[in-house]
Chain A
Amino acid sequence: MTAFFFFSIATVTVISALLVILLRNPIHCALSLVLTFFSLAGLYVLLNAQFIAAIQVIVYAGAIMVLFLFVIMLLNLDKVEKVRERHPLQKAFGILVASLLLVALGSVAATGFLYGSKGVHTAAEVGAIGNTKAIAGLLFTDWVLPFEITSILLLAAIVGAIVLSKREL
């Protein structure tokens, strides 16, 4: 049953990711990317990461993609533009280099050989207290300094975005 869900969701993920880079209209690309994010959330649920799945939907499929669609519509890019190819060999070389990258990454991934010692958070133990509670327990103890620095990063991003996009302050 898990295998059926994995392979169907993986197929949807790969097809929608391909549509992101193949469709001509930027709006359609953005909507395929939303579908990719939703199917990735499904994979996270299969991996027992329910909290990550929830914030994947809220942050990526919600906030980030709304920003993308907003900019596409603001700039009026929702038309198929005829681009003049400046470098005709670029596509061929790009796909060739990327295929070599896939071979390199895939050969490492296919071995499935991973170093590292096992942690303490087994599926049964996390399931007993709940995934979100387990993550919160780590986030507010071991990772509390990075968590606080994150808030400064977000503040800097807000200020940066306003400074960049305002015509004159």
Chain B
Amino acid sequence: MIPISYYLILSAILFTIGVIGVLIRRNAIIIFMSIELMLNAVNLSFVAISKHLDSLDGQIFVFFVMTVAAAEVAVGLAIIINLFRNKETVNVDEINIMKW
């Protein structure tokens, strides 16, 4: 029997790896993948706590998070394709037209 804190610590580690990816990488697609990593870290917390509390609501939440993630990926990748068409790059440092 694994204590729930192990799962939560693993989830915290995965979330932090996702944050580091967003902060240090400059490729928009890899930043996007890091966001997916963070979503999955939170999903792991949901499922672990759902088991801990003998409730299935956490798993229902994970179901909805996955749906939102699928929608988000479809729209986000369309935006990245549009950016690439207009700027010929996916490096987020080059895409600074909305920065003052």
Contact = CB atoms under 8 A, between A and B. Distances in A.
Given A20-B21, A43-B7, A64 B56 contact: no
A40 B44 contact: yes
Interface residues of A, number: 87
A68 B77 contact: yes
**Interface majority SS on B: helix, strand, loop or mixed?**
helix
Interface residues of B, number: 72
Contacts of A71: 29, 77, 80-81
Interface in A86-145: 86-87, 90-91, 93-95, 97-99, 101-102, 105-106, 108-112, 114, 116-123, 126, 134-135, 138-139, 143
Interface of B: 1-21, 23-27, 29-30, 32-34, 36-37, 40, 43-44, 47-57, 59-60, 62-64, 66-75, 77-82, 84, 90-91, 93
Interface of A: 2-3, 6, 10, 13-14, 17-18, 20-21, 26, 29-30, 33, 36-37, 40, 43-44, 46-49, 51-52, 55-56, 59-60, 63-64, 67-68, 71-72, 74-75, 77, 81, 83-84, 86-87, 90-91, 93-95, 97-99, 101-102, 105-106, 108-112, 114, 116-123, 126, 134-135, 138-139, 143, 146, 150, 153-154, 156-158, 160-162, 164-165
